[in-house]
Amino acid sequence: MADDGRDKQREEAAHIEAYSQRIIHLRRILPIIAVLLLGLLVLAANPDFSRNSTHDATPDNEDNRLLIDQPVFDGRLTDGRAYRFSALQGAQKNDGTMVFRSAQLNVAANGAKPSIFFTANEGFFDPQQNGKNAVARLAGNVVAKTSDGHELRAPKMEMRLNDAVWLAEKGLTMQGPSGTLRAAQLEADDKAAIYHFRNIQMRLIAAGGE
Amino acid sequence: MRLLPRFFVTLALLWPLAAAERAQAQALRFATDSTAPINVAAGLMVWQRAAGHAQLNKDAQMRQGPLTLSAQQLAIKFADNGTAENIQADGQVVLLSAAGDDSAPRRATARQAFVDLARQTIILTGDVTMTDGVDAARQLSGARLSLDVVSGRAHLTGDADKPRARIELR
């Protein structure tokens, strides 16, 4: 009888010891699992966390949902001018935006406003709907030629298409009938035909001269 | 016969004035180079394409060879073909010219200036003062200074209140 009692006590002690060991293991493992879960949560909330920004994206990137050859997007500025955004090749990304290779943007002339023809190595187009501005960004050897004889060159340009606002924030040069201009920045309200150049240097062509 | 000595006395008295006049005429020459390119610079340029007009602010200045014109604001008017027709300068106008072969360095100030790029003339108006690098104490003042950029000759005139240009020796 006494042996039976001791065996039962030993069995209980072993059981308690095993339980304690499991608790110790869990105390070590649970924080690691919690950290891993938190990491997964962060990645799930931001799918582009480890990817390049859309500016540098190319049609060949893995997160592109749909590849399109020679895509064309037509629209109209709020002043009525028609525009066409086209490219050699484009791809729609998971967020609905599009990236292009050899991009072109053509804004038609309207009354006294000349037509503008933009070309660039790469393009990005966000056709934001619901009243928001459609945005086009051009990068890499951006050239804009107007039908009234101006030629603008910049490394990057952004166009808010609905408002006809052009931005070149990384410097530009412009040649035209009035001369050659270098500027650090351009903000152009093409609808009102008003252009703000910052830190300019310009060589003028005088009337009746050169 | 009594008139002859009077004539020589008068001539003797007027001679220094005439010499001063000649000196002044010689002094009113700016170093210019009408063949040099015309450059403008500013912190901000607002170009209104439809109006054919550009306004330059923040350290606005125009430079052509040895001539530099600076002002609070420069306004460039473009012709229909897009070339620059004229430049209107307003506020704290300063016209500087470096020393040339036959002219001293000069500094003229005024309230406004008008640069006619086709005629190659610069006209300063409004409390015009002019000093030269040789004799900074001597200041010429008047209402209007016109400069022919081709020849470098300047002409300083007064207005109704001050009909003559003044030489101030300090």
* CB B159, CB B141: distance < 8 Å: no
Q: Provide the domain limits for residue B21.
A: 3-169
Average pLDDT score over residue span A124-145:
84
Q: What is the pLDDT of residue B17?
A: 43
Looking at every residue in chain B, the average pLDDT score rounds to 83
CA-angle at B157, arms to B153 and B160, nearest 5°: 165
Complex ipTM: 0.79
Among B39, B50, B79, select the one facing A193 at the smallest CB separation: B50
Q: Are residues A69 and A21 in the same domain?
A: no
Residue A88 located in a structural domain: yes
In the predicted model, is pLDDT for residue A70 greater than 80? Answer: yes
Residue A33 is inside which H or E element, if any?
helix A2-45
- Across chain A, the runs of DSSP E, i.e. the strands, are 64-69, 72-76, 82-93, 98-107, 116-126, 135-146, 151-160, 165-168, 172-176, 179-183, 185-189, 194-204
Residue A13 located in a structural domain: yes
In the predicted model, is pLDDT for residue B71 greater than 80? Answer: yes
Range of weakest confidence among A50-54, A140-144, B36-40: A50-54
* CB A135, CB A158: distance < 8 Å: yes
Instruction: Report the CATH number at residue B19.
Output: 2.60.450.10
Number of domains within chain B? 1
CA distance B123 to chain A (A): 17
Mutate to test the interface with B, among A182, A185, A197, A202 (most CBs of B within 10 A): A202
Distance in Å from the first CA to the final CA of chain A: 124
Average pLDDT score over residue span A23-52:
79
Q: What is the pLDDT of residue B99?
A: 80
Among B49, B83, B84, select the one facing A195 at the smallest CB separation: B49
Q: Provide the domain limits for residue A69.
A: 54-204
In the predicted model, is pLDDT for residue A2 greater than 70? Answer: no
Q: Are residues A150 and A198 in the same domain?
A: yes
Phi, psi (deg, nearest 5) at residue A30: -55, -45
Give percent above pLDDT 70 in chain A: 87
Number of domains within chain A? 2
* Structure confidence at residue B16 as a pLDDT band (50, 70, 90): very low
Q: Is A111 on the interface with B (CB under 8 A)?
A: no
Instruction: Report the CATH number at residue A133.
Output: 2.60.450.10
Looking at every residue in chain A, the average pLDDT score rounds to 85
In the predicted model, is pLDDT for residue A14 greater than 70? Answer: yes
